[in-house]
Amino acid sequence: MGFFSTSIGRKLTMAVSGSLLMLFLLAHTLGVGSSLLGKKYFVGYVTRIHSLGPLLHLLQSALAVLFLVHIFFGIRLYIDNLAARPVRASRTTASGGRTPGSRTMVASGLFLFFFLLFHLFHFAFSSQPSVDLTARLVLATPANAVLYLAAYVALGLHISHGLWSMCHSLGIAGADKKIRPAGYVATAISLVFVSVTLAAFLCRTFLV
């Protein structure tokens, strides 16, 4: 446990777990975004996912572990930063250190955690016969639609700083210059999810 007790070890663990979660998010974005092309594309995506059989359960378990690791070390790093608060002020002018994403990192992370539980409750344990029907019913409710939109704004803020931080922790060359590209990627991902939510809420023919 010596490696994980150091600041470098925790940051690297956050970076690696964040990278893997980002790969999942990109794949999920493409899958969910397929709903904008029509029901057959979205159903095709869902069918391919379910065709994985036992492998799907293995991937879901691995994903759950990744989330828990990322959350745990995120909290530990936050506690470390609080303990180092007297010297924190000298670091706030560093590249990537003061952006909307960095200032809301903890709040957005906590909000996304509880949103994920809400999301899983509706989709993983749905009594509806199909995912597309579940999506229509869940997102047709104004309160749910607003919550999902807020979550996708939080997601964009979170990964905008997370991508930069990942590059910085992994020692990727030119990491300090990747703040703006990270923001573009985060915005693009958020816009896909926001578009799906608005389409489901406003368009009665969505996934029909």
Please give the share of the chain, as a percent, with pLDDT higher than 90.
60
Above 50 in pLDDT, residue 128? yes
39 burial type by CB count under 10 A (0-12 exposed, 13-18 middle, 19+ buried): middle
Most confident among 7-11, 100-104, 105-109, 170-174 (mean pLDDT): 105-109
Average pLDDT over residues 133-140: 93
- Pairwise CA distance, residues 120 & 123, whole Å: 5
Above 80 in pLDDT, residue 93? no
For the four alpha carbons of 188, 140, 119 and 146, in that order, the dihedral sign comes to: positive
- Pairwise CA distance, residues 22 & 183, whole Å: 14
Closest CA to 65 of 122, 5, 17, 7: 17
pLDDT at 176: 59
Per-residue pLDDT of 155-206, as tens digits, reads 999 998 888 888 877 777 565 555 677 888 999 999 999 999 999 999 989 9
Q: CB atoms < 10 A from the CB of 20, how many?
A: 15
Task: Look at residue 40 and give its three-state secondary structure.
Answer: helix
Pick from 31-45, 99-113, 167-181: least confident: 167-181
- The fold of the 3-89+97-202 domain, in CATH, is 3 helical TM bundles of succinate and fumarate reductases (1.20.1300)
H or E, element range at 6:
none
Return all residues near 67 (Cβ < 8 A) that are at least 6 apart.
21, 116
pLDDT at 200: 95
CB 71 within 8 A of CB 109: yes
Above 90 in pLDDT, residue 25? yes
- Position of tokens 């703040």? 179
CA angle 178, 81, 90 (to 5 degrees): 70
Query: What is the residue extent of each domain of the chain?
Result: 3-89+97-202
Task: Look at residue 5 and give its three-state secondary structure.
Answer: helix
Pick from 82-86, 117-121, 195-199: least confident: 82-86
pTM assigned to the model: 0.86
pLDDT at 1: 57
Average pLDDT over residues 142-148: 96
Per-residue pLDDT of 62-80, as tens digits, reads 999 999 999 999 998 888 8
Closest CA to 112 of 78, 140, 74, 77: 74
